[in-house]
Amino acid sequence: MPVKIETKPALLIVDVQRDFCPGGMLAVAKGDRIIPALNGYCELFRKKNRPIFFSRDWHPQETSHFEAFGGAWPVHCVMGSKGAEFHPALKVPEVATIISKGMNPSRDDYSAFDGVDDSGTPFPELLRRLDVDTIYIGGLATDYCVKESALAALRQGFSVTLLEDAVRGVDLKPGDSSKAIAEMKTTGAKTTNLSTIDLG
């Protein structure tokens, strides 16, 4: 009998907000197409009673993240705005924890690991309290917040599995998303999809 190694997984769904989906201020092409798969992952983690986190980009009106203040991006995901809402097709269960990031007006904070929950507790601290050792990551955008979250998780000693059928990228330059996936893999991320995932 093969020995089953127990892991303590958590799910992180990154920035599936109106502004990153078609019709939004910083729309990722076909960004909404990953939502059914994400809902499926969510259901799976809920059934297993494993922690589920939804990060959201949550910017002040004036931030060096925006073009008008020296940054790279059009205005998007301003805290409290319609565009900052989770996409309406995304099922956010009651038990999920929301992680907000990007509130500091002088930082980009692409990574959910720079985010905090509603009481201000840093995301990595929440994971440690729950004894999580493995993070499954999907969402938007592959080449920014998903990548930076995955690399931060690996740096901080977590195992990372990328949900390959549930990520989409901005591709400011063609190929950015495939490059990002390659970089996550060479840094140590594994990959899975909804038909092959095995949480034990």
* Partner touching 141 among ligand VGL, Zn ion, none, CB below 5 to 8 Å by kind: ligand VGL
CB atoms within 10 A of CB 52: 20
Counting contacts by CB under 6 A, is residue 144 touching ligand VGL? yes
Beta strands in the chain (DSSP E): 9-14, 52-57, 97-101, 134-140, 159-168, 190-192
Each residue 57-86 as x (binds Zn ion by CB under 5 A) or -, in order, gives: x-----------------------------
Q: Which of 15, 19, 108, 114 is the catalytic position? A: 15
CB-based contacts of 161: which residues, under 8 Å, 6+ apart? Answer: 9, 134, 135, 136, 137, 189, 190, 191, 192
Binding residue (CB under 6 A) for ligand VGL from 15, 32, 114, 165: 15
Show the site string, 28-67: x = touches ligand VGL by CB under 6 A, - = not: -----------------------------x----------
Q: Which residue is nearest to Zn ion (CB)?
A: 57
> Toward ligand VGL, which CB reaches closer, 15 or 165?
15
Of 135, 144, 120, 122, give the one whose Cα is nearest residue 57.
144
